[in-house]
Structure 1
Amino acid sequence: MTRDRSADDSDDLELTIDQFHDACQQVGRPMLTADGIARTLDRSQDAVSDELEALVDRGDLESFSVTADPIVWYPANLEDLTEQERIVVFPKRREIVVDQPTQFTRAQLSQFAHLADANGKQGYRYVVRPEDVWQAPHEAFDDLARTMRQALGQRSEPLEEWVRSQWDRAHQFQLTTHEDGYTVLEAKTPEVMGNVARQKLDEEHVHAPISDTEDWVREGAAAAIKRILYEAGYPVQDHRDLDSGELLDVDLAVSLRDYQQTWVDRFAEAGEGVFVGPPGSGKTVAAMGAMAEVGGETLVLVPSRDLARQWAETIEEYTNLGPHQIGQYHGGQKHVRPVTIATYQIAGMDRHRSLFDDREWGLVIFDECQHVPSDVYRRSTHLQSQHRLGLSASPIREDDRQTEIFTLVGPPIGTDWQALFDAGFVAEPELEIRYVPWGDDQQRNAYASADGRERYRIAAKNHGKIDEVRYLLRDHHDAKALVFVDYLEQGRELAEALDGPFLSGETPHHERRRLLEEFRRDERDLLVVSRVGDEGIDLPTADLAIVASGLGGSRRQGTQRAGRTMRPAGGALVYVLATRGTREEEFARRQLQHLGRKGMTVREQTRGQVGSNETADSDN
């Protein structure tokens, strides 16, 4: 494995093959003279010539004589210039750019850096953020520094210095349990207690000081303290002695994939966390691995009763637990058992809250945990448990409150999407934005005279999209297809035009189950689905997804809909329809650029008329 030196390192060591490759890249030639490499690296020609000979002796370079210059130098294996793994570090920006990274490198980087962009042609761009350092799965900073050096193939002192400062911040405060049973906030020094905690917290959170470095914590205020200090840049280590409830022996009926086992191991080390991975990566199964690891009574919180039912069925299928050990608590039924699946809304209601408070859970699982920061859902994070685990394909929020997810639940744990694509665990769907002309002049004129939200609604319900959907379904006649809409009226029109069912929030629960099972068993190859399919139900995977409307929604919604085609078999397609010349074009690019940064291929195409190409724009 060969690697680049840091872009900020000075050239005060002997010449390496990595520097030679870097010089070749800069001048755009695979061969260099001693004078050429000396100028490129700002070194003396005499010193460079001796070091080039040393590289020849080691077998890294070869040379030959020409008339214009005594010697020309080139790599012993010219393929190294294009196929080698190359890493460049930018400490001031805390960015790492990687070309041709190996699985090992990506796995190491994911422990302390965030994958910001993944483009196979332009490389991978990682950013080291404070929260990435705070959640690094290491007991000591030296262990983290060793991981960084293994990933980068070098030591970047400026970057390590910044990472150490963030590591120190993450170990300034801890919550502990006093021998008398109450909770204590403890600071590392009197200075940080006085200048940070006692400036940020008030009587709602802590009692009078116990000492210069300790404060009593008011009952129920621990979560608020963690959030406030986290926002101040000081995450709190939670070392309270929480009861785990009754023991529960959970055995998995399936083997975890290697990356799922890694997620579970990191969760076990931290005691909390958020599994972050694309749809189809098996977060639910990994969560059951966490249940087995904890071995205690478990509460699973979900957005809807449909998901509660699906969780109950999945737990029964993949573990040794029987129906008498699995309960559901929502509007349809109310049973509290060793493993209970409840909706967020029910768990947050005062009249039901005591049922969950009276039981000391070993583990609370927050499914679709990107909702947790919202006012309705966050009350559920106050439930007492020894461990907490979140699941999310895309822990982002349009209100930029995503950091609260990790404050309230735990640090992010996951594998970058591109690594799962490359390993074949999850299929990489092809995404294409198709710009559709207006279906009739009446809608076009209505759009021109409307403004605000009404304009968006008219563009979303463009009748021209019905013909476009028909064309795509004909073009992929063997595919199982999901068609997504945001408007009930549009969904009914599409379902009627396509002679297929429309699944929405108005569809009775028994009818939803029947339609989904038929689709899952290949007895039905088309469903038109409203927003209820984004997160409220567990849709089966499909070969083809068509987003007819919904482009004004969140980036998370785009992720969920694209994710309905992700499965190991591959070959899936996602088409996003946007009315040409409207703001839908901007919304489409915003949603799909987010997916493009995760490593998916995104194309754009404008169609003059249904069934014929007008122009093929550009790949994102």
Structure 2
Amino acid sequence: MSNGPLIVQSDKTVLLEVDQDGAEQARTAIAPFAELERAPEHVHTYRITPLALWNARAAGHDAEQVVDALVSNSRFPVPQPLLVDIVDTMGRFGRLSIANHPAHGLVLSTTDRPVLEEILRNKKIVPMLGSRIDEDTVIVHPSERGRLKQQLLKVGWPAEDLAGYVDGEAHPISLHEEGWALRDYQRQAAKAFWDGGSGVVVLPCGAGKTLVGAAAMAQAEATTLILVTNTVAGRQWKRELVARTSLTEDEIGEYSGERKEIRPITIATYQVITRRTKGEYRHLELFDSRDWGLVVYDEVHLLPAPVFRMTADLQSRRRLGLTATLVREDGREGDVFSLIGPKRFDVPWRDIEAQGWIAPAECIEVRTTMTEAERLRYATAESDERYKICSTARTKLPVVRSIVDKHAGEPTLVIGAYLDQLDELGGELECPVIQGSTKNAEREKLFDQFRNGELTTLVVSKVANFSIDLPEATVAIQVSGTFGSRQEEAQRLGRLLRPKEDGRQAHFYSVVARDTLDTDYAAHRQRFLAEQGYAYTITDADDLRNP
């Protein structure tokens, strides 16, 4: 037995004692192949999954490195079956490879003939393949490169994609680092992406993912298609690119519900390209409208399913996914891996916070009791109505009021999911409400007033979850959400994490109705906060109002 900081268990969990000598070194060693699940105060839990091991393999790590990282840092002997399984699982990656053949174009090759024979008997995979060139090689229909990788991952034989990328149409882009400079981790992230060719960069909200995208664009010096969650986010991208690069406004087009501009740099919303007219996706021509050299997916964890299908056709283009969390509530992390690329770079939220690049945050759950009438209505309601009843409990209103009063003068966001509740809160707090139907011009005007201090409180629906830059927001109060979505928790917390000029701490409140589904879903959302190492306290509404 050694004094190593890791305890490696046969169920493929890895425990890291953070106060033990060598913990930081051990965490760095296992980060490429183990996914962080929980990170409370003293012991962090990681899990080794096939996808995590294939991610590591795709990023250039081999089984020997993985085994050595576990054995050399473990306090107890590592279970032998686990080590055998790691070697076997990682050995599955790359026995099939996709490459360009000088005479036949795109081909699927194998170093292990029985694997190819197995694949050729799969009814979903065979239609993607052409004739067999020899015993180890078969032609791949070029349009099926992405879908083939998707299916091969699902059957447990992930292919190594060696077919490379087209350069795309050249377009000069350079960074203008005047009065600012890329942070070390941003530079490392852009380099890791470029060296790998395609893949995902995971950085916390507020850590400057847009600048990583700009650095990748400057490296590519090619026409770029940027896909974003909404029009407001797209216009923020445009402002950042004009401010930080050699690009001018005329070189950047907006492809949204309001405008259809296709320029060397085109920023499109997921909504417009996934919009159907008479059952057809009418905006697919956007993908073929230029010879794109780079495609950037902002908030890749929110990528709609139809965009996965479109992404399958873009395999010859370099693809960069940007996200604060690879958690997908629909479980399609494997599609991100096969169609965008493996995780190329990530940094834990608390590391970025320790460096001063994002604000420290205090997370508080405030529990309140529904009125007797609401409790009776909740008890007798159908199951699909119960969550709305407890989420919109009227006893939440005075709690929100008291939190706003406690932080009087501080930039505060009140966030919810139900429009009637938001309107009621807007009236109670005498402040504007931004929701889906609020026109973009009005949204931008209100966000600008919030940024410059004219407004200190805004009530917002889930439209403010994504890609909205409100750097001075220091308080967020969530009153209702999308059930137990950890993804949403990440985005809402992220609204607060831009570093404050005066170094102030951020405060993230959740107002929850006790003894209801609201409490159950809040516990699920806490998982995200625990994963990132944030302390989470629970207090009673009465204690808050009467400190």
**TM-score of the superposed pair, with normalisation by structure 1:** 0.79
Other-structure match for 1:582: 516
1:125-177 superposed Cα distances (whole Å, 9 cap, x missing partner):
22222222222275463883597279738996945544332332111111112
**Aligned-residue offset at 1:373:** 5.5
The answer to whether the Cα contact below 8 Å between 1:250 and 1:319 also exists between their aligned partners in 2 is yes
Matched, 1:474 2:397: no
**Aligned-residue offset at 1:108:** 3.0
Other-structure match for 2:210: 284
1: CA distance, partners of 2:229 / 2:466: 7
For these two proteins, the number of residue pairs brought into alignment is 530
Q: Any idea what SS the aligned residue of 1:220 has?
A: helix
Does 1 or 2 have the higher relative contact order (CA < 8 Å, sep 6+)? Answer: 2
Q: Pick closer, same or farther for the CA change 1:325–1:153 going to 2, 3 Å.
A: farther
Other-structure match for 2:182: 256
Other-structure match for 2:348: 416
Other-structure match for 1:545: 476
- Pairs within 5 Å for 1:3-18: 5=2, 18=3
Q: Any idea what SS the aligned residue of 1:281 has?
A: coil
Question: Which of these two proteins has the greater Rg computed from alpha carbons?
Answer: 1
Other-structure match for 2:268: 342
Partner residue of 2:338 out of 407, 411, 425: 407
**Aligned-residue offset at 1:246:** 1.9
Other-structure match for 2:530: 596
Q: Any idea what SS the aligned residue of 1:398 has?
A: coil
2: CA distance, partners of 1:363 / 1:453: 43
Other-structure match for 1:369: 300
AA matched with 1:98: E
- Pairs within 5 Å for 1:191-590: 191-199=114-122, 201-254=124-177, 255-348=181-274, 350-372=281-303, 374-375=305-306, 378-412=309-343, 413-438=345-370, 440-535=371-466, 537-550=468-481, 552-568=483-499, 569-590=503-524
Matched, 1:90 2:9: yes
**Aligned-residue offset at 1:416:** 2.1
1:45-81 superposed Cα distances (whole Å, 9 cap, x missing partner):
xxxxxxxxxxxxxxxxxxxxxxxxxxxxxxxxxxxxx
**Aligned-residue offset at 1:378:** 3.6
**Aligned-residue offset at 1:348:** 4.5
AA matched with 1:530: S
AA matched with 2:443: R
Q: Pick closer, same or farther for the CA change 1:234–1:369 going to 2, 3 Å.
A: same
1:250-283 superposed Cα distances (whole Å, 9 cap, x missing partner):
2223422222222222212221111112211221
**Aligned-residue offset at 1:538:** 4.3
1:461-494 superposed Cα distances (whole Å, 9 cap, x missing partner):
1111111111011111132100001111111111
Q: Any idea what SS the aligned residue of 2:186 has?
A: helix
**Aligned-residue offset at 1:536:** 6.7
**Aligned-residue offset at 1:453:** 2.3
Gaps of 5+ in 1: 6-17, 19-84, 614-620
Other-structure match for 2:278: none
**Aligned-residue offset at 1:523:** 2.0
2: CA distance, partners of 1:570 / 1:107: 29
1: CA distance, partners of 2:381 / 2:11: 48
Q: Pick closer, same or farther for the CA change 1:323–1:398 going to 2, 3 Å.
A: same
Q: Pick closer, same or farther for the CA change 1:142–1:377 going to 2, 3 Å.
A: closer
- Pairs within 5 Å for 1:91-106: 93=12, 95-100=14-19, 103-106=24-27
Q: Any idea what SS the aligned residue of 1:535 has?
A: coil
Other-structure match for 1:186: 109
1: CA distance, partners of 2:98 / 2:349: 34
Q: Any idea what SS the aligned residue of 1:405 has?
A: helix
**Aligned-residue offset at 1:597:** 2.2
Q: Any idea what SS the aligned residue of 1:462 has?
A: coil
2: CA distance, partners of 1:538 / 1:220: 37
Other-structure match for 1:113: 34
- Pairs within 5 Å for 1:117-132: 117-120=38-41, 122-132=42-52
1: CA distance, partners of 2:348 / 2:467: 25
AA matched with 1:424: G
AA matched with 1:130: P
Q: Pick closer, same or farther for the CA change 1:315–1:381 going to 2, 3 Å.
A: farther
Q: Any idea what SS the aligned residue of 2:109 has?
A: strand
Q: Any idea what SS the aligned residue of 1:557 has?
A: helix
Q: Pick closer, same or farther for the CA change 1:607–1:324 going to 2, 3 Å.
A: closer
**TM-score of the superposed pair, with normalisation by structure 2:** 0.89
Other-structure match for 1:51: none
Q: Pick closer, same or farther for the CA change 1:321–1:212 going to 2, 3 Å.
A: same
Partner residue of 1:133 out of 44, 53, 56: 53
Q: Which moved more, 1:163-172 or 1:323-332?
A: 163-172
The answer to whether the Cα contact below 8 Å between 2:144 and 2:312 also exists between their aligned partners in 1 is no
2: CA distance, partners of 1:290 / 1:150: 36
Q: Pick closer, same or farther for the CA change 1:165–1:344 going to 2, 3 Å.
A: same
**Aligned-residue offset at 1:446:** 2.5
**Aligned-residue offset at 1:557:** 0.9
AA matched with 2:526: L
AA matched with 1:596: A
**Aligned-residue offset at 1:284:** 1.6
Q: Any idea what SS the aligned residue of 2:284 has?
A: helix
1: CA distance, partners of 2:96 / 2:71: 29
The answer to whether the Cα contact below 8 Å between 2:368 and 2:514 also exists between their aligned partners in 1 is yes
Q: Pick closer, same or farther for the CA change 1:156–1:267 going to 2, 3 Å.
A: farther
2: CA distance, partners of 1:550 / 1:446: 20
**Aligned-residue offset at 1:537:** 4.3
Q: Any idea what SS the aligned residue of 1:592 has?
A: helix
Q: CA RMSD in A?
A: 2.6
The answer to whether the Cα contact below 8 Å between 1:303 and 1:367 also exists between their aligned partners in 2 is yes
The answer to whether the Cα contact below 8 Å between 2:9 and 2:79 also exists between their aligned partners in 1 is no
2: CA distance, partners of 1:392 / 1:401: 14
Matched, 1:163 2:86: yes
Q: Pick closer, same or farther for the CA change 1:581–1:241 going to 2, 3 Å.
A: closer
Q: Which moved more, 1:178-187 or 1:262-271?
A: 178-187
Q: Which moved more, 1:131-140 or 1:220-229?
A: 131-140
